[in-house]
Amino acid sequence: MNAERPNGRGTTDEVADLARRAGQLAGWAARTGFALGRKLPGVETAERSVRQVERQLLTELRRRLDEVDDPYHAALTAASAMNRSAAVEATVTLVPVRDNHAEPLRAAMAELLNHSIGFGRERAREYFYAIILRQLTPDEARILSALSDGSPFPAVDVVERTGLGGNGRVVLRNASTVGKAAGVSLPDQVPGYVTRLIGLGLVDLDEEVPSLETQYEILLTDETVREAEKHVRRAKFVRRTIHVSRLGAQFWQACDPSLG
């Protein structure tokens, strides 16, 4: 699996090396609060250089990931081209594809089922994590790095208070201070990032933690939260916490660049 492919595509080791290098930059920035020191002489120039290198590494990483021989990518590529010969060969056929004119989605599902036969536990896990990794944005990788030690961060929903004191419509979901701690490039997108990470099963929502009171107060002054508050007559703030999930911890253990 680590041998160079005859078509010149990158090896799994090369992909892992790129992931380590990109992750080292993201992890270092999140853990040292790099973005918080922008006012120091020369730091802004240094940050631009780090961001540029990080973008180059992540771009190359995604290119290499697209070339990894995973069945999902192979199946969809083969189905879109309606060319069965382009798919990865399977030793056993579970679902035969009837002809070269099968609908792309049906052909893709047939290829997935066929490839699932030869999958062992470790290989299945590797490709599962590869699919997750491919969906992450650089900012989301930074957030996951900041959460990876298990520490909770405050999260807030902004909802409209009803006449009886209950909760009405939600105007902002999953705002959190974790974005600033991680040094993300798009702070206004943090609620969306957190929501996506929760959807991927990498992050869990939990109850409010009283010991984080100061951080909750800081979060309520966040520009994104204040802007959402303007869209309701009477705002109510539903406090929660976010932390890395069990899957998230396992995923990070497999991808953590500092352990490579």
Give the model confidence (pLDDT) of 55-89 as tens digits.
665 665 555 555 554 544 554 454 444 433 433 44
Q: Which residue has the higher pLDDT, 41 or 260?
A: 260
What does the pLDDT look like over 117-140, one tens digit per residue?
Answer: 877 888 889 889 999 999 999 999
pLDDT band at 199 (very low <50, low <70, confident <90, very high): very high
- In CATH, 142-259 is 3.30.300.30: no
Residues 6 or more apart whose Cβ sits within 8 Å of residue 54: 22, 25, 26, 138
CA quadruple 194, 195, 199, 204: dihedral positive or negative? positive
- pLDDT of residue 49 exceeding 70, the answer is no
What does the pLDDT look like over 8-20, one tens digit per residue?
Answer: 444 445 555 555 5
Sequence spans of domains, the chain: 12-68, 71-133, 142-259
Q: What is the pLDDT of residue 185?
A: 96
Kindly report which listed range (101-110, 172-181, 214-223, 233-242) carries the lowest average pLDDT score.
101-110
Rg of the chain, C-alpha, whole Å: 22
Average pLDDT (218-228) is 96
Separation of alpha carbons 17 and 122, rounded Å: 19
Is 133 in contact with 180 (CB distance < 8 Å)?
Answer: no
Residue among 135, 250, 156 at smallest CA distance from 205: 156
Q: Which residue has the higher pLDDT, 47 or 220?
A: 220
Q: What is the pLDDT of residue 120?
A: 83
Is 215 in contact with 177 (CB distance < 8 Å)?
Answer: yes
Average pLDDT (202-217) is 96
